[in-house]
Structure 1
Amino acid sequence: MKLLQQPKAVLAVAFACVIAFMGIGLVDPILKPIADSLGATPSQTSLLFTSYMAIMGLAMLITSVVSSRLGVKPTLLLGLVIIIAGAGLAGLSDSIGAIVGYRAIWGLGNALFVATALTAIVSASSGSVRDAIIFYEAALGVGIAAGPLIGGVLGSISWRGPFFGVSVLMAIAFLVTLCLLPSAHARPKPSSLRDPFRALKHPGLLGVALTALCYNFGFFTLLAYTPFPLNMTAHQVGLIFFGWGAMLAFASVILAPRLQGILGTIPAILFALTGFALILAIMAIWTEYKPVLVAGVVLAGLFLGINNTLVTETVMKAAPVERGVASAAYSFVRFGGGAVAPWLAGYLGETINDHVPFWVGSAAVLLGVLVLAASRRHLRHIDESQVLPTTMAPDPSVTPEPARAVAQT
């Protein structure tokens, strides 16, 4: 897919996505500096991820309701404003409890933005669903790769720097979205809070969501706990996770489509999950060896990139429901794993040893492999077409542009 040939609406949302996803990795290099500065334990510091992911998961239930009433553009802007406020207030805080609370606010904004952004890009893209999702994952990968690097640089000055950096970057994203993203002309069709739960009655969508919950458990164990046994400076941790993000972006755009073409979507996801579980197991065995941890973090990016792209595409095709509802239902379930894992990893590391969090993360990902394997018969249609199922309703908050048949948001 030629990126520059995408509609202006897609490019605007993608740019905002890059900056939004910087916010995830931007904080990673400063976890240990925050713990050292504020006298917090690893489990307390890891609550920065837990509060963020827990509120983000719960808020996913209302994203389709909000966007179907306000429209895509106002929802995106609202999410960005909340992120700006949450990140800025976290940077001004002097206690770990306050930072955890403001990260929860940040998670609310991110939920409104992320779920709506995916719907907007898939709806407005001039290519296939696969191309649109690869484009979305490319933005995600670039943001995740750049986040730790910028966070490491700002964090080497002060642990407050990355929080203020997020606020500034989000303000830029707000202006870009405000100026470049057209508003919908059609009146949105309101959805219900019950719609995501109804969507989860589809066995295929439920299976993918539960798989992602297990996968996210391992993902956030890697992201939130590895900086503690690494015991390096913020800048060094930032460089390591930059390598991880670069591998994730490369795999999302290049490896995922090729592996999908060779193996098929579900087998490729099973391969990626198994590879990630193996890496976590290796990190669990040789936790005291920093070169193993560094290599494990970077190589994990390859498997995570493959998984992210293919799972996102699978969610868009798994059930005959509106895209925003499917995304909300799936995200609500999967972020449960992201919410529990950081705190549990920190607690296990404190009370037992540094090896156990990685063993638990590996076991959770392997459980995801079993869940997806059991759900395969409900997902046979995924590779039948590169377009959305004909029974899937279009996003009601996006209006086609007559001249180019491209959705305006």
Structure 2
Amino acid sequence: MSADTASAPSPFRQPKAVWAVAFACVISFMGIGLVDPILPSLAAQLCASPSQVELLFTSYLVVTAVAMLVTGWVSSRLGAKNTLIVGLSLIVVFSAIAGASGSIGQIVGFRAGWGVGNALFIATSLAVIVGSASGGFKGAIVLYETALGVGIACGPLLGGLLGDISWRGPFFGVGVLMLVALVATAILVPPTPRPAQRSSISEPVKALRHRALATTGVTGLLYNWGFFTILGYAPFLMHLSALRLGGVFCAWGVLVAIFAVFGAPILKARFGTARTLYGSLVLMALDTLAIGLFPDRPGVVIGAVIVSGVFIGTNNTLVTTAVMSVAPVPRPVASASYGFVRFIGGGLAPFAAGKLVEHYNVHVPFVLGAVAVLAAAVVLSTVHRALAEADREESHAGPSQRRTDAEQAVRDTPALPEEAVLADTALGEDRVLGGDTQGRLSTNDHPRP
């Protein structure tokens, strides 16, 4: 063990401010799978069709996608801490009101407001952790990754436990936990100054004119279509109680977290970004197709859903890494653009699945999801050369790698916390479904020469 390694501070020895934001991150990431276990009971108790219940995903994710385009604009005017507080406040208010609602339409509407708050929070949380954490940038990333894994794995389990009591339970539970996080953030996180330079609201949209960014964004949209078809409609096929559904999706979430944090970097180092993604996307398409072929066999559906966590975790990490590797725009802009495109696919897929079942049969949405994921691999292949070049540059520490290392050194300097906040604002949204942060440490923030 080297002296540097031996003397490196533990990433879990952090100021109270960092723990406050990390706790809020855990609760925020719980929201990804929180409603899964209660979808069937919501449909039954509120006399709603599956497609109406699926609007819980659509309103949340589509609004989150659109809000991603303005999070940089907002945070550059309010400052990081104030943006966190606004986002957390919106989540507390709308989750509580959703729990008190009496119709599926009201819940869907308030879930959209929850999406706005979530976008503001997740786009800023990593920036605040980086600016406040001890042990440098890498220590902050370890802590953030840990919060992600705990949140994704525990969200469905909490939803199942509370949903077994009442469908209102998960909404009120999130409201209470987020209120605790809001108070802790307001008290423990020090004030952050507003950035000297304000972001333009049009930058993320203009960035989509770049072919590499648009192509990888479409790849994310397509595989998220398959991902959220599974996440949104599979619960109706398992015929389980809310508690048991929570257990199934907890197992799924554990695999998502493991492969997002550990599996994807190992596979990338062994096979490269492109080949790993081709294999993962093809296997995910087959897994989705298995549900489409055998939707009347709960054992097959349960197994396929759990196994899909392997591919979803890998894809989330490496597609995000690919976006940051090939996009010829600053990292926060690429992040917002990609989040907007991919969450549109994730938001529309569950609602479309419900409508396809109503008009055709239960096989169709999963077969379509499998085709969409397979199409994602085809679309990604059109930027194969750019992905291979990014891998070579990273492994050989080319010019952009050295430039990024220098920028990271600036971010790691304790005397310049605000630079860390500014440089990394809006990174957080790429980790909502498990995207990679470590991979972006070696990507190019500027156009290649």
Residue 407 (structure 1) aligns with: 420
Residue 243 (structure 2) aligns with: 235
Report if aligned partners of 1:323, 1:394 keep a CA contact under 8 Å in 2: no
**Distance of 2:16 and 2:316 partners within structure 1:** 25
Q: Give 1:350's aligned amino acid.
A: E
Q: Give 2:120's aligned amino acid.
A: L
Alignment match of 2:254 (pick from 242, 246, 262): 246
**Distance of 1:6 and 1:252 partners within structure 2:** 24
More off after superposition, 17-26 vs 380-389: 380-389
1:385 match: secondary structure: helix
**Distance of 2:13 and 2:202 partners within structure 1:** 38
Find out whether 1:56 has 2:64 as its counterpart.
yes
Report if aligned partners of 1:400, 1:408 keep a CA contact under 8 Å in 2: no
1:182 match: secondary structure: coil
Residue 163 (structure 2) aligns with: 155
**Distance of 2:22 and 2:406 partners within structure 1:** 23
2:420 match: secondary structure: strand
**Distance of 1:45 and 1:228 partners within structure 2:** 11
Superposed displacement of residue 401, structure 1:
2.6
Find out whether 1:42 has 2:55 as its counterpart.
no
**Distance of 1:236 and 1:246 partners within structure 2:** 15
Q: Give 2:23's aligned amino acid.
A: F
Residue by residue over 1:349-407, the C-alpha shift from the partner in whole angstroms, topping out at 9 and shown as x without a partner, is 22222111111111111111111111222334432238976389979xx8953289983
Alignment match of 2:191 (pick from 179, 183, 190): 183
Residue 164 (structure 1) aligns with: 172
More off after superposition, 41-50 vs 260-269: 260-269
Residue by residue over 1:98-126, the C-alpha shift from the partner in whole angstroms, topping out at 9 and shown as x without a partner, is 01100110111111112223455567775
Structure 2 segments unaligned to the other structure (5+ residues): 1-7, 423-449
**Distance of 1:159 and 1:250 partners within structure 2:** 29
User: TM-score normalized by structure 2?
Assistant: 0.83
**Distance of 1:245 and 1:205 partners within structure 2:** 28
**Distance of 1:403 and 1:391 partners within structure 2:** 17
Residue 445 (structure 2) aligns with: none
**Distance of 1:254 and 1:279 partners within structure 2:** 21
Identity in percent: 49
Residue by residue over 1:281-310, the C-alpha shift from the partner in whole angstroms, topping out at 9 and shown as x without a partner, is 111111111111111111111111112222
Find out whether 1:15 has 2:28 as its counterpart.
no
2:167 match: secondary structure: coil
Q: Give 1:117's aligned amino acid.
A: S
Q: Give 1:377's aligned amino acid.
A: R
Residue 210 (structure 1) aligns with: 218
Change in 2 beyond 3 A, CA 1:340/1:134: farther
Change in 2 beyond 3 A, CA 1:373/1:13: farther
Residue 82 (structure 2) aligns with: 74
Change in 2 beyond 3 A, CA 1:18/1:226: same
Residue 332 (structure 1) aligns with: 340
> What are the residue-to-residue correspondences of 1:4-403 with 2, within 5 Å?
4=12, 11-120=19-128, 136-185=144-193, 187-383=195-391, 384-385=393-394, 390=403, 401-402=414-415
Q: Give 1:86's aligned amino acid.
A: F
Larger Rg: 2
**Distance of 2:89 and 2:325 partners within structure 1:** 31
**Distance of 1:64 and 1:294 partners within structure 2:** 39
Superposed displacement of residue 347, structure 1:
1.1
Change in 2 beyond 3 A, CA 1:400/1:408: farther
**Distance of 2:407 and 2:182 partners within structure 1:** 26
Report if aligned partners of 1:315, 1:330 keep a CA contact under 8 Å in 2: yes
Change in 2 beyond 3 A, CA 1:214/1:346: same
Change in 2 beyond 3 A, CA 1:380/1:202: farther
Superposed displacement of residue 6, structure 1:
6.6
**Distance of 2:20 and 2:407 partners within structure 1:** 21
Report if aligned partners of 2:285, 2:371 keep a CA contact under 8 Å in 1: yes
User: TM-score normalized by structure 1?
Assistant: 0.90
Report if aligned partners of 2:222, 2:376 keep a CA contact under 8 Å in 1: yes
Change in 2 beyond 3 A, CA 1:330/1:141: same
Change in 2 beyond 3 A, CA 1:360/1:157: same
**Distance of 2:407 and 2:72 partners within structure 1:** 13
Q: Give 2:71's aligned amino acid.
A: T
Report if aligned partners of 1:148, 1:238 keep a CA contact under 8 Å in 2: yes
More off after superposition, 102-111 vs 192-201: 192-201
Report if aligned partners of 1:137, 1:252 keep a CA contact under 8 Å in 2: no
Change in 2 beyond 3 A, CA 1:134/1:365: farther
**Distance of 1:392 and 1:84 partners within structure 2:** 38
**Distance of 1:38 and 1:405 partners within structure 2:** 48
Superposed displacement of residue 271, structure 1:
2.2
Change in 2 beyond 3 A, CA 1:62/1:321: same
**Distance of 2:13 and 2:223 partners within structure 1:** 34
Residue by residue over 1:295-336, the C-alpha shift from the partner in whole angstroms, topping out at 9 and shown as x without a partner, is 111111111111222223333333343332222111111111
Change in 2 beyond 3 A, CA 1:72/1:137: same
Structure 1 segments unaligned to the other structure (5+ residues): none
Q: Give 1:310's aligned amino acid.
A: L
Report if aligned partners of 2:25, 2:151 keep a CA contact under 8 Å in 1: yes
**Distance of 2:412 and 2:383 partners within structure 1:** 34
